[in-house]
Amino acid sequence: MENVTKLRIEVPQSSDVLTDILRRGAQTLLQQAIEAEVQSYLSLVNESQAAVAAVRNGYSPERTIQTGIGDVNVRQPRARVKSGFEGVEQFSSKILPPYLRRTKSIEELIPWLYLKGISTGDFQEALQALLGEGASGLSATTITRMKGSWGEDYEAWSKRDLSMKRYVYIWADGVHFNVRLGEDGERACILVIMGATSDGVKELIAVDAGLRESTTSWKGLLLQLKRQGLTTAPDLAIGDGALGFWAALSEVYSSTKHQRCWVHKTANVLDKLPKSLQPQAKKLIHNMYNAEHKTDAVKFMDDFAELFEAKYPKALTCLMKDKEEMLTFYDFPAEHCCHIRSTNPIESTFATVRLRTAKTKGCGTALATLTMVFKLAESAAKSWNKLRGYERLAEVIDLRWKFEDGIRVEAHAA
């Protein structure tokens, strides 16, 4: 009779048997993966040297890795290079770096919880609810220390090299939060610049504290970007007309075209009309920036003037201010219009951070607010999509072409 080895599984005594089984399975797979990694290293090294240059060297002390399904214990195998082979690269695990204590998903969860309003002292309880009672090592002191490291991350990021970057479009806005900076109680304004690279990827370019309407604040930020290596002017900038950004942009990147944000414009115009007329006015404004041709957009502007000029001249003046800059988007690919008519890429990202700052009491600091904005954007960037029709960005950059009503035509020689 054939011998059959029976696998005996002991069911752990736990209120969540499934999670315990998954955790044990993850521990087994992780151990197998790092064992295979060191074996692969030994095979490659010894084969390349045509000799036994590296050998196994036991295990590092067992350590606990915090994961999304709880704590997982693992022993890291070690390898050493034998004497006489000094030029051989030492083994270093890519799966389990030496100082890794928690998975990337947990690292991302912590700032997310903080931004959602979890106080420092409540982290342990919140993480235990999410990860199980085994969640450990995240005391208030640990969280405070991690917040300090986020500040260091922001400082390093704000000085990074941008010499290899080429942004075709940039969006700029000043975002206010309910945080008081310093003893004077000044409400925080964070100057934000986002950009779209030549391959359509949206990136956060800069965040800094400043005054929204101040040309000096914006100029200082733009000059800092130049010092970091961003010397090529963007083709188009999008922002609210009230920003001091525009005067600064003309001084620092004089060739960049200007596009005023239709979302800000709509809100400003409607604010100067009675509520009973706002739906009608909003529909007309909607027709303006959704018109297929620039001439049609101008016609809708004329219709607005005919309806509201007599009784509501301030609304009309607000609409017609920077009229040409409102319609610049027609000079770019039609596929990009939905992206470059407004500063929504900034608004949609930073609306979430207010959920955190709204819960912040007392005085904050500029660095604390900047850090929150930076960490939020860093997390949000993982879900940012490329620009629709990003393949056409190469045509925007190519001086042989221009666009009329969103359609590419050959540029005429000067």
Contacts of 116 (CB under 8 A, 6+ apart): 355, 356
Predicted confidence at residue 362, as pLDDT, reads: 44
Q: At which residue do the structure tokens 């991690």 appear? A: 146
How far, in Å, CA of 395 to CA of 404, rounded? 13
Predicted confidence at residue 149, as pLDDT, reads: 75
Three-state secondary structure call for residue 242 = coil
Q: Give the helix/strand (H/E) hosting 171.
A: strand 167-181
How far, in Å, CA of 275 to CA of 191, rounded? 31
Tokens of 360: 């912040």
| C-alpha R_g of the chain | 28
How far, in Å, CA of 191 to CA of 167, rounded? 18
Terminal-residue alpha carbon distance, the chain: 94
Q: pLDDT 10s per residue in the chain (414 long)?
A: 444 444 344 444 445 676 677 667 777 877 888 888 889 889 988 888 888 888 998 888 888 776 766 677 888 888 888 888 877 888 888 777 776 666 656 665 666 566 555 666 666 666 665 555 555 555 566 666 667 777 888 899 999 999 999 999 999 998 876 655 445 555 568 899 999 999 999 999 999 988 888 999 999 999 999 999 999 999 999 999 889 999 999 999 999 999 999 999 999 999 999 999 999 999 999 999 999 999 999 999 999 999 999 999 999 999 999 999 999 999 999 999 999 999 998 888 777 666 555 555 444 566 777 887 787 777 778 778 899 999 999 999 998 999 999 999 998 744
DSSP 62: P
Cβ-count burial 333-350 (b if 16+ within 10 Å, e if not): bbebbebbbbbebbbebb
Alpha helices in 88-214 (DSSP H): 104-115, 123-131, 140-157
Alpha helices in 116-242 (DSSP H): 123-131, 140-157, 215-227
Look at residues 146, 148, 192, 193 and name the one whose alpha carbon lies nearest to residue 170: 193
DSSP 5: P
Burial class (CB in 10 A: 0-12, 13-18, 19+), 166: middle
CB-CB contact of 210 with 220 (8 Å):
yes
Cβ-count burial 67-99 (b if 16+ within 10 Å, e if not): bebbbbebebbebebeeeeeeeeebebeebeee
**Residue type for 86, please?**
E
Look at residues 366, 364, 345, 34 and name the one whose alpha carbon lies nearest to residue 204: 345
Predicted confidence at residue 413, as pLDDT, reads: 47
Q: At which residue do the structure tokens 């209120």 appear? A: 15
Q: At which residue do the structure tokens 């922001």 appear? A: 154
pTM of the prediction?
0.71
Chain Cα centroid distance, residue 22: 32
Length, in residues, of the chain: 414
Helices then strands (H, E): number in the chain? 16, 12
Strands 186-197 and 167-181: antiparallel
Residue 84, Ramachandran bin (φ over 0: left; ψ between -120 and 50: alpha; else beta): left
Tokens of 166: 């080429």
Helix then strand then coil, in percent of the chain rounded to 5, is 50, 20, 35
How far, in Å, CA of 250 to CA of 25, rounded? 60
CB-CB contact of 72 with 27 (8 Å):
yes
Predicted confidence at residue 296, as pLDDT, reads: 96
